[in-house]
């Protein structure tokens, strides 16, 4: 094969990795195992592709992405929706593993998705703990909902399960705290974020593990990355409703809880929340069904993210706004 600049797309599934190399129209397949990934790296390293594009597939892509990046290759892990949207845009409506790999290689050449450092082993471990904690909290909520309409032995069994999960939740909190304290940067950043009223240890740890870009991007970039930046939907004279979508759901969930608590106890967010609703006629029209509150809360999430981003960028703790 010649030294032509090339782009690589890799479609990942549990069993194998389908690889497309553009513009050579070469298709390869490797097992998604340690041996298969080693063979993949050996195949691609001499080519030095301009970009290797994979989709985030619930962690199945992680081993291959880490191995390729460790070999000094330019790896971009993208949101699967971006790949699907690009496929539709170029008229590739059929879907197979080989087609998906070809589309990803084409996307790499056309869009040049950014290459971001992948998290370290310690960061991945911490992220897994935080993710597991969130899952257990969700399961506890679901079991408590079942508890209210149950009696007898079933009720006792549900309560026993809740008690077990509560105990496991406490153990996870201690594990997360221990891991955090072993890493000076995480510990300092967590202490910084926790100085904000409404931001507790769990809310602070979520952006640390899910949003390493915090403090490195401007307010518009970070809001878009998380998915709290309202997008226009205008056409001609029609002005559509601004909506948020995409981004990192785990971070948005943490920001939502932070905004929910902050609008009561954080002076800046409380004042912002109270001033925001009556200022806009739009909110008044949406009051029925609680939509005004949701819109205002989303704006508070955006503001809270902006505050956290500036604090991390400057390395400064929270300071309450001075009274006018």
- The encoded tokens of residue 119 equal 């998290």
User: How much is the pLDDT for 121?
Assistant: 83
Handedness of CA 158, 162, 198, 184 (dihedral sign): negative
Helices (H), 148-266: 152-182, 184-194, 201-210, 219-226, 249-265
Report yes or no: 272 and 303 within 8 Å, Cβ to Cβ. yes
The neighbour count for residue 275, using CB atoms within 10 Å, is 10
Reported pTM = 0.70
Tokens of 284: 């008044």
Helix and strand totals (H; E) in the chain: 13, 7
Compute how many other C-beta atoms are within 10 angstroms of the C-beta atom of residue 13.
Answer: 13
Does 266 score more than 60 pLDDT?
A: yes
Distance CA 25, CA 74 (A): 20
**Which range among 26-35, 113-122, 236-245, 273-282 has the greatest average pLDDT?**
26-35
Residues 127 and 66: beta-carbon distance below 8 Å? no
Residue 283's pLDDT band (cuts 50, 70, 90)? very low
Rounded CA gap, 214 and 314, in Å?
A: 11
pLDDT, tens digit (0-9, with 9 covering 90-100), for 172-196: 999 998 988 888 888 999 999 999 8
Q: Given a cut of 70, is residue 18 above it in pLDDT?
A: yes
The token pair that represents 177 in the structure block: 């705290």
- Is 289 or 63 the better-scoring residue by pLDDT? 63
User: Above 80 in pLDDT, residue 306?
Assistant: yes
Per-residue pLDDT tens digits for 84-133:
999 999 999 888 999 999 999 999 999 999 898 888 888 888 988 988 99
CB 225 within 8 A of CB 213: yes
How many other C-beta atoms are found inside a 10 Å radius of the C-beta of residue 292? Answer: 19
3-state percent helix, strand, coil for the chain, nearest multiple of 5: 60, 10, 30
């Amino acid at each position: 094969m010649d030294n032509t600049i090339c782009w690589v797309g890799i479609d990942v599934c549990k069993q194998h990795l389908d690889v497309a190399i553009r513009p050579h129209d070469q298709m390869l397949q490797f097992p998604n195992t340690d041996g298969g990934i080693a063979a993949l790296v050996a195949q691609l390293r001499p080519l030095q592709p301009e970009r290797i594009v994979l989709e985030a597939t619930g962690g199945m892509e992680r081993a291959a992405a880490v191995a390729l990046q460790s070999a000094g290759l330019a790896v971009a892990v993208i949101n699967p929706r971006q790949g699907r949207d690009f496929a539709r845009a170029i008229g590739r409506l059929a879907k197979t593993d080989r087609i998906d790999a070809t589309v990803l290689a084409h996307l790499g050449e056309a869009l040049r998705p950014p290459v971001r450092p992948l998290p370290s082993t310690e960061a991945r471990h911490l992220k897994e703990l935080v993710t597991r904690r969130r899952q257990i909290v969700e399961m506890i909520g679901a079991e408590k909902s079942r508890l209210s309409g149950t009696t007898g032995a079933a009720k006792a069994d549900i309560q026993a399960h809740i008690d077990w999960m509560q105990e496991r939740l406490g153990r996870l909190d201690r594990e997360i705290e221990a891991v955090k304290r072993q890493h000076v940067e995480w510990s300092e950043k967590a202490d910084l974020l926790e100085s904000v009223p409404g931001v507790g240890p769990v809310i602070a740890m979520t952006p640390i593990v899910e949003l390493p870009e915090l403090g490195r991007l401007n307010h518009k970039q970070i809001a878009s990355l998380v998915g709290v930046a309202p997008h226009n939907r205008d056409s001609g004279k029609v002005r559509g409703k601004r909506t948020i979508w995409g981004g990192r759901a785990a971070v948005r969930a943490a920001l939502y809880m932070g905004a929910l608590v902050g609008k009561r106890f954080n002076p800046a967010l409380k004042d912002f929340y109270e001033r925001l609703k009556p200022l806009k006629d739009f909110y008044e029209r949406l009051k029925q069904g609680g939509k005004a509150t949701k819109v205002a809360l989303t704006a508070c999430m955006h503001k809270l993210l902006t505050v956290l981003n500036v604090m991390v960028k400057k390395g400064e703790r929270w300071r309450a706004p001075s009274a006018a």
